[in-house]
Amino acid sequence: MKLFVSVDLEGVCGVVDERDTARDGPAARRARDHLRADLDAVLEGCLAAGADEVVVCDAHDDGRNLDPAGLPRRVTLVSGSPAPGSMFEGLGSGCDAALFVGYHARAGTAGAVLEHTWDHRTYEVRVGDLPVGEFGIAALLAGHFAVPAVYLSGDDKVVAEARALVAGIAATVVKTGIRREVAAWHAPEEARTRMRADVEAALRTPRKPAPFVWDGAPLRLTFTRVTYCDLAETCPGVVRLDGRTLEMSGASFADVYRTFLACLRLAGSEG
């Protein structure tokens, strides 16, 4: 059994504030320690369930949040940026299941800790009529490879988001969002005990969720500012729908995702 694990930071135990997600400083260092502890709990669950190989993608910011020192055998860590597949580098058709750790709700979700979709330039992403965030896009990309999304950890809002998209996904709520930078904690040790058990159970059950298969509907990316759309509309194949929105399609969701990443990267460029 080969597993893919994408690890973000905003949905980790102990993270509640933008300062926690910065690259430097005491809050950032403490947050990385929490990140590693959450990941270790998930890896214990993976290995207890019999994983032969686990590919972990360090998916937050510049992808340099995790130290490979001390990782268990059979685990590979993808670090650095920009990875060709961004948050999902290493996900492919050889994987049996995908897991998402430390995830957060999509941009615009009320009461969700540090909600956003990729970065501050994204106002909304829709696939057809369906609003999606980082998890929804991840699940669709996994579906392209016929890989089921079987597990997620984060706050109560991203867990609800994931359950609405993927019936039967296992999940661990590690904190309850109150405001964007206010949360009620669950004791990290207790949350990690549940994470380990939830991951193992999710991998052992014969009734895994079905892969989330794309229905062919175009993806619409709405930016927070017209300027970002001005930069991104130079991406070949996209159609500008209004001041802030681009529409893109493709022969597969992997194609759509590649175009989506290109638009995000152009929007962050100097033009």
Q: Which residues bind Zn ion (CB under 5 A)?
A: 8, 134
Query: Judging by beta carbons within 10 Å of its beta carbon (0-12, 13-18, 19+), is residue 161 exposed, middle or buried?
Result: buried
Q: Which is nearer to Zn ion, 203 or 261 (CB)?
A: 261
- At residue 121, φ and ψ (nearest 5 deg) are -80, -15
**Minimum CB distance to Zn ion smaller for 172 or for 203:** 172
Rounded least distance, CB 9 to Zn ion, Å:
7
262 and 235 Cβ atoms separated by less than 8 Å: yes
Q: Choose between 134 and 156: whose C-beta lies nearer to Zn ion.
A: 134
Reduce the DSSP state of residue 73 to 3 states and report it: coil
Distance CA 271, CA 266 (A): 7
Smallest gap from Cβ 74 to Zn ion, in A, equals: 26
Nearest-approach distance from CB 161 to Zn ion, in angstroms = 13
Residue placing its CB nearer to Zn ion in the complex, 115 or 200: 115
Please name the residue ranges forming H helices in 14-56: 26-48
Which tokens in the block code for residue 78?
A: 């993808």
Phi, psi of 176 (to 5 degrees): -110, 120
Q: How far is the CB of 114 from Zn ion (least distance, A)?
A: 8
State in angstroms the smallest separation of the CB of 57 from Zn ion.
Answer: 12
How long a stretch of residues is the chain?
271
Burial of 178-203, coded b for 16+ CB within 10 Å and e otherwise, reads eebeebeebebeebbeebbbbbbebb
Residue 80: Cβ within 10 Å count: 10
- Nearer of residues 8 and 58 to Zn ion, judged by Cβ: 8
Radius of gyration for the chain, computed over Cα atoms and rounded to the nearest angstrom: 18
* Residue closest to Zn ion, measured at CB: 8
Quick one: 58 or 200, whose CB is closer to Zn ion? 58
CB of 102 to Zn ion, least distance (A): 8
